[in-house]
Each structure stands twice: as C-alpha cells, then as structure tokens.
Structure 1
Amino acid sequence: MAAAVAPATGNPSDDNPVLALILRIAGIAAFGTMAMFIKLASESGIHIVEIVFWRQAVSVPILLGWAMLAGGLSTLRTARPRSHAIRAGYGLVGMAFNFGGVILLPLAEATTFNFTSSIWAVILSATLLGEHVGKWRWSAVIAGFAGVLVIAQPGGGHVPLVGALVALGGAFMLALISIQIRDLSRTDKPMVIVFWFAFTSVVVTAPVLPFVATEHTSTQWLILLGIGLAGTAGQVLVTLALRYGEVSSVIVMDYSGLIWATLYGWLIFATLPTVWTWLGAPLVVLAGIIITWRESILRRRRLRDRHEVIGG
C-alpha cells in the first residue's frame, strides 16, 4: 500500500540506482507490514478512526525530530497552508478507503486493487489535466480493469463487492492525491508535505477519539505502535528511493507488495489468494508496468524537445 509521495529533488550526482531499488523494496515491505498490523488491529476490535489517528500520531514526533536534524523547525514552513489543508482532507478520505480495503478484503486482493492507482492516474490526467493519452496507456487501462473484473468476479461472492469498491476508491484517491502532491512539490519539499498531512490528520481525528476509542491491551498498543512505525518507515524509505533513482526505475518495485501481502495473509490470517486473483493480478500489474514504461518514454521525449528548443 504505497502512499503517494512527492518527487524528491536530489542532485543528479546522488544517483545510485541499486540503493534506490533497495530503499524502494524496503519501503514497500514496510507498507505491507503496516497493512498486516491494520488488519490485526481491526480484528482485535480497534475502530478505524483510532487506527488512522495512531498511524499519523506516531509519525509526527518522528518527522519533527527529522526536521530538527535537517536544519530546524523552520524547514517545515509553508506558504501554501490552504493547499496543504485540501491535500490533508483528500488524504484522510484516501487513508480511510485504503485502510477499509485492507480490513474488508484479504491482504492480497486489497493490495492488488491498490495497484490500480496508476490506472486511475491515467484517467485523471486525461479528464482533469487535459493530457493526451495514446493507445498504449488506454490499452493498459482496459487491461487493468479487465484484471479487476477477473479478481472481483461480480456476483461470484468470493471477494466482497463492498470491499472491492472501497479498495478501488482508495486507489482512485491515491491517484487524485498524486496530482495534488505534484503541484505542492513545485514549492514545498517532501518533508513539508508529509509533515503537514500527518499533523493535520491528528488534529482532525483527535476530537473523534472519545466517541470511538476503547481500553486496549498491551498487545493492541503494540499493534498500533507497529502501524505508526511501519507506515512512517515506508513513507521515509520510498521518498529516499526517489532521491537516488528515477521514478520510472523504482516504481516497478511497488508490485513486490503482493509478495508481502500473500506471505502475511498465509502466515498470520491463514488465507491465500484465489485462483481468480492469480489470473487477474498479472493483468493489473502488467497495466501498471506499461503505464510506467510509456510515461518514462514520454518524459524523456519532453526533456529532449525542451533541450532542443533551448539549444536551438
């Protein structure tokens, strides 16, 4: 369940493709671990609002500490509080949908539906940004949704329809948030964007806690701590990966999340993906890879054209 993160702005001299891949894989493993803890928390009776609160509350002091080491609290200043507020609102809705998908579905199915965020991003780029989308990416969109239909088997009953819709809604929100983050990253650093989302989430969800929180056992507290630590680690690691490698070269590693989802599903929850998931997931993954490949080509083409115009 990779969170949408801002593109890092490291220097070309920082490029280290191998380190970038390792960091991305580690970040996706952390997100897979977070998803496992979320499911455990829900099954133990913890309300989703409290799960969201602690996911972000654990992050805030960690991010503050990181900011202090990186130059002080002044590094968290922003001139766009309204944009951050909108991003936080969308982010909270997206987090609720994504966590809901994990709670309502087996981990492998929830993770696979999460992969459709790249498919939704293509649709949003065409409809909201007016970007021209060619046959390659539209073909990928069709293949991806065909995979979703194979997995969900509408009317088949092996995947709850509500759970599938919730997970797809979460993927849609990730795509929508990625557009916002792309805009915010023009003026603010990744640390600033991540911090204000976490801080705002805590402020918004804290007043609801008295109505949903219950007494917890020591095991439940450890699970909530695990959600916060794993989620923060995942966010930091995938962001660092973008500092040392191109988006197009590391984002394919996101599909390793299906390995962790399958492993945790088997070891912790005694569930394995159905045959329909094994048949449909490759279509969803292939669609994402095609979209990433095509966008990488288009990006290089735009850069080349820009250089020709400047040099011409």
Structure 2
Amino acid sequence: MLSRSGSSPPDHPLLAIALRLGAMVMLSTMFMLAKLAGQRGVSLPELIFWRQAMSVPVILSWLLATENLRALASRRMTNHAMRATTGTVGLCCNLGAATLLPLPEATTLGFTTPFFAVLITALILRDKVGVWRWAAVVLGFAGVLIVAQPGGAPIPPLGLMFGLGSGVIVAIVSFQIRDLSRTEAPITCVFWFAFFGAALSSILLPFYARPHSSSAWLLLVAVGVAGTAAQFLLTAALRYGQVATVVVMDYTALIWATLYGWGIWGTLPPQTTWLGAPLIIAAGLIITWRERYLSRRISPTSALDASATEEMRD
C-alpha cells in the first residue's frame, strides 16, 4: 500500500502474514460477539452503528497521541462518502449473515468475493478473463450450492442472501479502495469509512434503538473494539506485504468460526459445509494465484489492488 508521499515501506512477508492472521482472529471474534449481541435483542441497525461509531474516537485518539491529525486531510470526500455508503451496506450483509447463520456457514459464504470480482471485471469493466478464472468461478459457485443445501435442509434464505450479498459488496468495495489508495493513506480511508458509515447508519437509530442490559452494552463495546483492532491489523498487514502474499490467510477465519460455534453454541458445521467449503477455498486460491501471475507479467504495482475485505468486512 502506498503512503501519501508515494513511497512504499519495504516488504516484511512474515510480519505481514502474522498481522493478517491476527486480523482474522479479531474479525471472527467480532462476528461471534455480534451474534451474541443479536441473541440479546440488539438489532442489526444498532450493531452497524456502534461498530462504526466506536472506531471514530479510537482512531482520533491514536492520531492525537501520534500528532498525526493531518493524515485525515483529503480532497476526495465525495469518494470517501460513496465508499462508506457501499461499505456500510456490505457491513450490514456481513453482520446480518453472522446473526442469522451459524458462524462457519456465514464465514464460508464470505469467501465468494473473488468470484464476484471476476464477474465484475468481465461483465462491467469488460476486461479479458481467461479460462483459469472462469473455471474457478464455476468451481466456487458449485461449492456455494453444496453449502446452501438446495433440496435438503437449506440454510435460511435471508441469511444466504446476506452471505452472498457480502461477497458482492466486498468485490465492489475492492475497486473503490483501489481507486482511493492511489492518493489516500490507509488511515484516511479507515477513518472516513467509519465516520461516514456511523453518520449514515445513525438515521435508523430512532426506529430501532431500545434499552439493553449491561451485558448487551458490553458486547456492543467489544464488537467495536474487535472491529477496530481488525481494521488496524488488516491495514498494517497490507503495509508490510502484498495482497497476494497475505490474502490466503483469510481462510483461517473458518477455523476460528468453527471453534467459536463449537465452544459457545455447541454446534459443528454439517457435512455439506465440510464438502462445499474446500471447493470455495480452492477456487479463491486459484483466482489469487492467477491474479498474482498476471500482475507479475503486466505490472509490478499489484499492491494497489489493496484490501478487498479490510474496512468493509469489519
């Protein structure tokens, strides 16, 4: 990821991988906490608002402590607002899937982002997509069909819609972040996403806000802290390593989602998830490998393809 000055720090692949692994732990923890909060009567609009709103003072405090408030200056506020609007819809899909579905299934459906990115590249941007990536898309959606269990005991349709919707929106956001990252520092994108996202989601608060127990409020605070920590770890990982180096670590989120589901709710993924998830992960790995191969042939600046999942997912 380029800094505002246009220089790029040296790569530290092992550090980048460690940071990305930590980010997946925090993201999985955030979704687990959101699911617990939903079971205690916290509505989805409240979850979205507090997840965004709690990042604002945390980031401001950090910038004040480091005397770096100037990092928030931007001439592209309209672009930040548009990216925040799209990202907030994606956050709604992610948290909606986490609250309506078992965590492993919700996490697995979130892995569909690379497939939708390929479709956007081919159908909207009109770029050439070769046989490798098309084959990966077909393989990935075959995995989705297995996870969705059509004709058997299907997962809730609304949860499925949220899960696949998160894949679509994250793919769209990845193109927006790629554009913003050409001129904006990572912390600038993170802050204005949280700021505009909180402002947007606050519109629904008068209709959905309600009194909660102290435990529910603690869960909301924890959701905000975990999400903010995940954002910083994701951003740091992309600062020290290229996207193609670290993105494979995202699949470890399925391990944590499975452990949380088993440890807290006493459930394990059904056989269909064990069969479908490897297909989805294999398809994502094929697309990642192919993108890395093509970027080496075309341009050495593939790091600008930046965080497809970072700020929106958390």
Q: TM-score, normalised by structure 2?
A: 0.91
Answer whether contact 2:2 2:8 (CA < 8 A) is retained: no
Match of 1:269 in 2: 265
Deviation at 1:14, TM superposition (A): 2.6
Paired letter, 2:148:
A
Alignment partners' CA distance in 2, 1:204 and 1:277: 35
Of 131, 155, 158 in structure 1, the residue corresponding to residue 151 of structure 2 is 155
Bigger Cα displacement from structure 2, 120-129 vs 64-73: 64-73
Match of 2:29 in 1: 33
Unaligned regions of 5+ residues in structure 2, if any? 302-314
Of 237, 240, 243 in structure 1, the residue corresponding to residue 239 of structure 2 is 243
The within-5 A match list for 1:46-85 is: 46-85=42-81
The within-5 A match list for 1:1-312 is: 7=1, 9=3, 14-303=10-299
Alignment partners' CA distance in 1, 2:234 and 2:246: 9
CA RMSD, Structure 1 to Structure 2 (Å): 1.6
Bigger Cα displacement from structure 2, 169-178 vs 58-67: 58-67
Answer whether contact 1:109 1:277 (CA < 8 A) is retained: yes
Paired letter, 1:232:
T
Paired letter, 2:163:
A
Deviation at 1:13, TM superposition (A): 5.4
Deviation at 1:156, TM superposition (A): 1.8
Answer whether contact 1:56 1:199 (CA < 8 A) is retained: yes
Deviation at 1:62, TM superposition (A): 1.1
Alignment partners' CA distance in 2, 1:54 and 1:111: 21
Bigger Cα displacement from structure 2, 258-267 vs 68-77: 68-77
Deviation at 1:107, TM superposition (A): 0.3
Unaligned regions of 5+ residues in structure 1, if any? 1-6, 306-312
Say if 1:98 and 1:154 are closer, same or farther in 2 by CA, change over 3 A. same
Answer whether contact 2:103 2:258 (CA < 8 A) is retained: yes
SS in 1 for 2:37: helix
Q: TM-score, normalised by structure 1?
A: 0.92
Q: Deviations over 1:45-93 (max 9, x none)?
A: 0011110111011100111122234543221011111111111111111
- Matched length: 299
Q: Deviations over 1:225-261 (max 9, x none)?
A: 1100110111110110111111111100000000010
Alignment partners' CA distance in 2, 1:161 and 1:194: 32
Alignment partners' CA distance in 1, 2:149 and 2:251: 22
Alignment partners' CA distance in 2, 1:130 and 1:78: 31
Alignment partners' CA distance in 2, 1:121 and 1:234: 22
Deviation at 1:11, TM superposition (A): 5.6
Paired letter, 2:24:
I
